[in-house]
Chain A
Amino acid sequence: MVLSRPPKLCNFLEWKEYKIIFKRYASLFFVVCVDRSDNELIVLEIIHHFVEILDRYFGNVCELDLIFNFHKAYYILDELIMAGELQETSKKTVLRIMAQQDAQQENPSEHKVDL
């Protein structure tokens, strides 16, 4: 439904009792499904926010980054949104926490290599 829409149309669709809001960045589509009563524009802004963070984290994000590091993308999303609500609005904080967690993950594995 989203893919078949020609560009230059508006980014909202009504689907069952929800709304689908999507945005396209190059070849990547970001699709969000929200309640009817939610604000469409804010969702678009959240998508943009997410993309910006991805971009900073991966350094000019592309499709392959997300495919091979799908778990990272999920981690970032979890940092950003919890229980359907925007939880952390600061890009810097998200990136900092991600870096810290990655460091945590690294340490044990380095130990393992040493052993």
Chain B
Amino acid sequence: MERKNKFHVGDTSNYMFERTLADLVRGIRNHKKNEEKFINQCIQEIKMELKGDISKKTLAVQKLTYISMLGYDISWAAFNIVEVMSATKFSSKRVGYLAASQSFNEGTEVITLATNQIRKDFLSNQYEAYLALNCLSNICTPDLARDLANDLVSLLSTQKTHILKRTITVMYKIFLRYPDSLRPAFPKLKEKLEDPEPSVVSCAVNVICELARKNPKNYLTLAPVLFKILTNSTTNYWMFIKIVKLFGALTPLEPRLAKKLVDPLTNIINTSSSMSLLFECIQTCIIGISDNIPLMKLCISKLRTLIEHHDQNLKYLGLLALSNIMKIHPKAVSEHRELVLNCLDDEDISIRTRALDLLTGMVNKKNIHEIVLKLLQHIDLAEGAYKEKILEKIIELCSLGTYQYITDFEWYINVLTRLSEIHETVHGKLIASQLLDVVIRVKVVRAYSARAMINLLKNPKLMSNPKENGICEVLYAAAWIVGEFSGYLNQPLQSLEAFLQPRVSILPAHIQSVYMQNILKVFAHACASANGEQPENLDLDEQTSPVELEQISTETIDECLTVLKDRLPLFTQSIHIDVQERACLVNEIIKFYSTSKDQGTNIASELVGLFTEALNPVAPKAQKKVPVPEGLDLDAWINDPKLQELEESDESDSEIFGKYNEESDEEHTRQPTKEELARQKEERLKKQANNPYMLGNRGKQQQQQHLDLGDEPTHIPVAKLPENMGPVIVGGRFDSLEKKKPSKLKKNIAIDTTTEMPEGAKESDSEDERRSKNTKSDALSAINLDEPLGANEVLYSNRHRTDIIRDREAAERAKAAAASRKSSPKVGQQSPNYTELASPEITGAGKTKKSSKKGEQSSSSKKSTAAAPAPVVVKKPLVFVAVSNLAENEFFNVTYDLRVVDATATPDQLKLTMKIQNKSDEDLSDVKLSVKPAENTLSLVGGEEVHDIGIIESGSSTTITQLFKSENILAAAQNPIQFSLSATPSSSPDVTVGFEVATPINFFIVGHRLTKDKFADILQNSGQMPLSSVKVAGVTSQSCIDGLRERLQFEVVQIHPSGSTISFYAKTVQQHHIAMLCKDRDGVACFDVKSSDATLSQLITKEIKSQFTVSN
């Protein structure tokens, strides 16, 4: 501090009017009341200072940084910051970079000006490089990332550890902002995992861990390296945590990895003293190894100690992890019920919330009463959001599995009534819907709840301070229940008085409406009962005691009438239109009732008849699931929109000005006859044809069609809906349900868990599936690192203009050469590097289908276990071409050419060019070529399965190209692509030819040059590899090397000094490893092929055999 002040004193003596940073800070602290004014004043001063020399600017920028930290905008000074960043002095530069880190963002335009400065500083002394790297990690924009990616990748080769570490870390930011850089830069990043310096490895692990969260699949291949780090290094537990986390992302994809991890993780969990590492291990176990029961038990017991720990943080995390386990093993957690219930008493709200979450997994029939009771106690003490949460939880627990844990529904109604005494809640609607749901589903509880509800209706507290969604919503349910089940209640007078309390008029409109509606229900039931009629929808054989259902005396009815007449007028004048309407309706019906009663007729039964429809729960998706009746096309226009348009324009043309005035109204409304319609139509069409503004004029054929259809839309297919779509009564289900109930229960309770679905509804929940597909994915996670690098995937770099021009010229030259080459090979004549396929596969393909299936299975299980492929050099591969005559008959001559599209960028794509020649004297019309690869072998890229060629004139030919992408190469190598060509000759009957094109295994092999160590590694790590051998006579080692390289792309790994033993390596486009040993024994070459798949090995030996026997 002292030193600093001295420095500033020196400064101020030079520039009298400047504040130092310390002055500024002090000033701000002294102007607490009018801070903004003071700062604005300072900013004005700073603006002046920014015009001064660099040391002045530096100070100004430093002060601005402080001001920006307080939340003021300093983006206007961005340019000055860049200036200070570019200063030569380290002290200024440091200030400038800090200011940039703090204030620059995506929208800062001058950031591009800094690009070059940053690049220069990377290579400057190490301190400046630190600054630049640190700053870049903060301000990286997509532009900066693109421009600097190349520099950073070359910086990855630096020997200076500190710079290297920072570079690695900043690469993560680059990947985030410029995902295209990931693929080219990744190999170098991967190398750093094996750096001798542990802190460098740590940085690389950090970055890969972050990347793996986006798309773990890409990083599975790193598992062996990471595993080695996990088991070998012991020092750095910061990194340990990251690796364990990384494995957490990988294990769900590779179950074998999970098995391997069990031991080390168990070890760490048992021995580690670090809680954070312990916790991370447990999290990883939960994510990836949750099916290992002993390990899960260990985790749970460790979590128990965490939860019992006095440290609140550990307690919180313990509960959090436990709830994660609960999602997988609901049962395992329930034994710790006591522990969790204790946490409900914790003073920390976050801990209580977590404990609350866990309750879901712990309730059962026996303890639900106890748990809910406890929650009810808590709810009285709780406040705010936590209170709401408890309420939600109580309802969630009770309604679990459509009330599967509830044995006593009267108790539940009581609980709900209790809950409706909570005033400040926003869950009024939730409680209301629960009440309705329970009462509708559980018939036995109806009488009880009707009685409970009438008490609610009378409770003045519910009506105080009514709010939309507030607790008053409960009244909505209560009113409905009382009205609907008034037959159980037989207290019409009480109910009506409750309904017509004057304060009801302050409730929200929709609740009042329900009140009005239910007044009528209650009254109707009362009248019916007074008449001695039994309401139909009452299940009287159940619990309700007959005493309660005594007949209502006519006096009661009269009293009811008085109450209604006295109090209804308040509602008939309601300001809510709906309420008013219903009140008036009730009023009128009552009047009608009393007059008709005076006249001696009783309409009670008619009144009840209004409300006797039974109620059943309807599934929320029922509407969507109504099957579309056959013949109804919802997408078809009911009226052709074009036609309507025409009619409209027509009217405006003629009728308004002409006919309308002349013709009488009578004439206008009469139906035009058919001929007239036709005539009008014709006139209109003529008019249309001449009208240049008419778009729909598509030739006569179509017009004729319109004409036939007539004007009136009588032709629209209207399907009749099935008549039995109405409510389905599910009462019949009860017998079976009741039998299942345990005998211990006093009452048989039937819960109607069914929901109505329209007949023929589809079972699938397709809408949910559709939703899950729409998950968003960002660019970084879409990148696949397993694909080899393409030639076009290079990092953007700044180059001199002349270089670029030179390159472009070269590329054009190459293209031209390629074009001329392409045109030269004529069908039938083969240039020497084309391989003719004497293909035994073409004929024998059908037989091998069975084995191909086996191949699929084993290949999918093996694929991902492969060891980390070493940095491979993709050798310039040969372009495989097969030109061959395919089919010939009297009309056609078909030849084809099959090749790998681009061996570096898209090695798994094949391009087929097929030439079809008409060699007959007749013209062929309607020529169609259908392309069908066998299932799960190849898929079409672009183009359709049927190529509609049209006409091929006599003697001419046409060429079709089609791209294929390989799905399963093993199957593809065994099953040829099926073609079928059909045509109609001008004077002969139709012809159809079928033929096949084989895609032998060599199309799917990519050359990889490996060092012998990596080769040994692969052999060792892949475990047992199926072996297949073949012997060919008369092959020399040199011809063997050449032949294999040329035809199968195999690369030599090692040649034994004697020259008699050679090892080869290659891999398929789907990353199967292929290793081969070739031994020369007295002129007979023996090839041992080992690959990750038995079928693959056999295919290759077969291929080798055919290649060499043909060439010899």
With a cutoff of 8 Å between Cβ atoms, the chain A residues found around residue B245 in the complex are 39
Beyond A82-B169, A82-B170, A105-B90, is A10–B351 a contact (Cβ under 8 Å)? yes
**Binary contact readout B973-1017 vs A (1 if CB under 8 angstroms, 0 otherwise):** 000000000000000000000000000000000000000000000
Q: Specify which of A12, A37, A97 is in contact with B316 (CB 8 Å cutoff).
A: A12
From 234 to 255 in chain B, residues with beta carbon under 8 angstroms from any chain A beta carbon are: 236, 238, 241, 245
Contact call B91/A109, Cβ cutoff below 8 A: yes
Task: Give the nearest-CB partner of A12 in chain B.
Answer: B316
Q: Would you call A85 and B210 a contact (CB within 8 A)?
A: yes
**Quick check: B102 and A101 within 8 Å, CB to CB?**
no
CB atoms of B10 and A113 under 8 A apart = yes
B350 contact set on A, CB distance < 8 A: 9-10, 12-13
Across the interface, do B276 and A11 meet the contact criterion of CB distance under 8 Å?
no
Q: Are B166 and A109 in contact (CB under 8 A)?
A: no
CB-defined interface of A65-88 with B at 8 Å, one 1/0 digit per residue? 001101100110011001111111
Q: Is A41 an interface residue (CB 8 A)?
A: yes
Q: Which residues of chain A from 1 to 55 have a CB within 8 Å of any chain B CB?
A: 8-13, 37, 39-42, 44-45
* A83 in contact with B173 (CB, 8 Å): yes
Cβ contact within 8 Å between B276 and A42: yes
Q: Does B133 contact A (CB under 8 A)?
A: yes
- Of B55, B166, B275, B347, the residue contacting A41 (CB under 8 A) is B275
CB-defined contacts of A9 to chain B, threshold 8 Å: 312, 347-351
What residue of chain B has the Cβ atom nearest to residue A112's Cβ? B55
Chain A contacts for B127, CB-based, 8 A: 100-101, 104
Q: Which one of B95, B134, B279, B348 lies within 8 Å of A78 (CB-CB)?
A: B134
Interface string of B613-632 (1 = CB under 8 A from A): 00000000000000000000
In the bound complex, do residue B169 and residue A83 qualify as a contact, i.e. CB atoms below 8 Å apart?
yes
Q: How far is the CB of A72 from chain B (nearest CB, A)?
A: 10
Once the chains bind, are B203 and A71 in contact (CB under 8 Å)? no
* Interface residues on chain A, size class: 35 or more
Contact B69 A10 (CB under 8 A): no
Query: Closest A-chain residue to B203, C-beta based?
Result: A87
- Interface: B165 (CB within 8 A): yes
Cα A65 to Cα B20 in complex, Å, equals: 16
Contacts of B313 in A (CB 8 A): 10-12, 40-41, 44
B62 interfacial by beta-carbon distance below 8 Å: yes
| Residues 1083-1109 of chain B, each 1 if its beta carbon lies under 8 Å from chain A, else 0 | 000000000000000000000000000
Query: B203–A85 contact, CB under 8 A?
Result: yes
Q: How far is the CA of A46 from the CA of B133 in the complex (A)?
A: 21
**Contact between chains at A108 and B25 (CB < 8 Å):** no
Q: Assuming A9-B347, A82-B134, is B199 touching A97 (CB within 8 A)?
A: no
Instruction: Evaluate contact between B90 and A104: CB separation under 8 angstroms.
Output: yes
Greatest chain A CB density within 10 A among B21, B62, B134, B199 is at B134
Q: Which of B777-803 contact A (CB under 8 A)?
A: none
- Contact status A109-B7, CB under 8 Å: yes
The answer to whether B199 and A83 have CB atoms under 8 Å apart is no
With both chains docked as a complex, state the minimum distance between the C-beta of A62 and any C-beta of chain B, in angstroms.
12
Chain A residue numbers with a CB within 8 Å of B66 are 70
Is B348 a contact partner of A10 (Cβ separation < 8 A)? yes
CA distance A37 to B210 in the complex (A): 11
B1007 to chain A, nearest CB (A): 38
A89 touching B102 in the complex, CB below 8 Å, given contacts A67-B25, A68-B1: no
Of all chain B residues, which has the CB nearest A111?
Answer: B89
Residue contact B172 to A83, C-beta cutoff 8 Å: yes
- Segment 5-34 of B: residues with Cβ below 8 Å from A: 7, 10, 21-22, 25, 29
Contact string against A for B residues 155-183, beta-carbon threshold 8 Å, 1 for contact and 0 otherwise:
00000001001100110110000000000
Main SS of chain B's interface residues? Answer: helix
Give the distance to chain B from A51, nearest Cβ to Cβ, in Å. Answer: 16
> Which of chain A's residues have a CB closer than 8 A to the CB of B166?
82, 87
B101 touches A78 (CB 8 A): yes
Contacts of B347 in A (CB 8 A): 8-9
Chain A residue nearest in CB terms to B167: A82
In the complex, which residues of chain A have a beta carbon less than 8 angstroms from the beta carbon of B7?
Answer: 109
Contact call B165/A71, Cβ cutoff below 8 A: no
Give Cα A27 to B283, complex, Å. Answer: 33
**Is the beta-carbon distance between B236 and A89 smaller than 8 angstroms?**
yes
Q: How far is the CA of A41 from the CA of B245 in the complex (A)?
A: 13
Q: Tell me, in angstroms, the Cα distance from A44 to B162 when the chains sit together.
A: 25
Interface residues of B in 82-141 (CB under 8 A from A): 89-91, 94-95, 98, 101-102, 127, 130, 133-134, 137
The yes or no answer to B512 lying at the interface (CB within 8 A) is no
Contacts of A108 in B (CB 8 A): 89-91
Tell me whether B899 is interfacial, beta carbon within 8 Å: no
Of B62, B203, B241, which is within 8 A of A42 by CB?
A: B241
- Tell me the bound Cα distance from A40 to B277 in angstroms: 11
User: Once the chains bind, are A87 and B98 in contact (CB under 8 Å)?
Assistant: no
A103 to chain B, nearest CB (A): 10
Q: How far is the CB of B751 from chain A (nearest CB, A)?
A: 36
Q: Which of B25, B29, B276 has the largest count of A CB atoms less than 10 A from its CB?
A: B276
Contact A86 B206 (CB under 8 A): yes
Cα–Cα, bound, A91→B85 (Å): 28
> Does B521 have its Cβ within 8 Å of any Cβ on chain A?
no
Residues of A within 8 A of B98 (CB): 71, 74-75
Shortest distance from the beta carbon of B16 to any chain A beta carbon, whole Å:
18
CA gap between A59 and B173 in the complex, in Å? 34
A12 neighbours in B (Cβ, 8 Å) = 313, 316-317, 350
Tell me the B281-332 residues at the A interface (CB within 8 Å): 283, 312-313, 315-317
Q: With a CB–CB cut-off of 8 A, which chain A residues contact B681?
A: none
The yes or no answer to B65 lying at the interface (CB within 8 A) is yes
A74 to B280, CA, bound (A): 29
Of listed A13, A78, A84, A93, residue having the most chain B CB within 10 A:
A78
Cβ B276 vs Cβ A71 within 8 A: no
Specify which chain A residues have a CB less than 8 angstroms from the CB of B279 in the assembled complex: 39-41
The complex places the Cα of A11 from the Cα of B314 at a distance, in Å, of 10
Question: How long is the Cα–Cα vector from A11 to B312 in the complex, in angstroms?
Answer: 8
Chain A residues packing against B (C-beta within 8 Å) = 8-13, 37, 39-42, 44-45, 67-68, 70-71, 74-75, 78-79, 82-90, 93, 97, 100-101, 104-106, 108-109, 112-113
The 9 closest A-B pairs by CB, nearest first: A41-B276, A10-B312, A83-B137, A10-B316, A9-B348, A105-B91, A85-B206, A78-B134, A82-B169
Query: What are 13 sample pairs from A and B whose C-beta atoms fall under 8 A apart?
Result: A9-B312, A9-B348, A10-B316, A39-B280, A41-B313, A42-B241, A44-B276, A82-B166, A83-B169, A97-B130, A104-B127, A108-B89, A112-B55
A70-B69, A83-B170 are known contacts; what are 16 more A-B pairs with Cβ within 8 Å? A8-B348, A39-B276, A39-B279, A39-B280, A40-B279, A41-B317, A42-B241, A44-B313, A67-B29, A68-B1, A68-B25, A75-B98, A89-B202, A101-B127, A105-B90, A108-B91
| Chain B residues proximal to chain A, CB less than 8 Å | 1, 7, 10, 21-22, 25, 29, 55, 62, 65-66, 69, 89-91, 94-95, 98, 101-102, 127, 130, 133-134, 137, 162, 165-166, 169-170, 172-173, 199, 202-203, 206-207, 210, 213, 236, 238, 241, 245, 275-276, 279-280, 283, 312-313, 315-317, 347-351
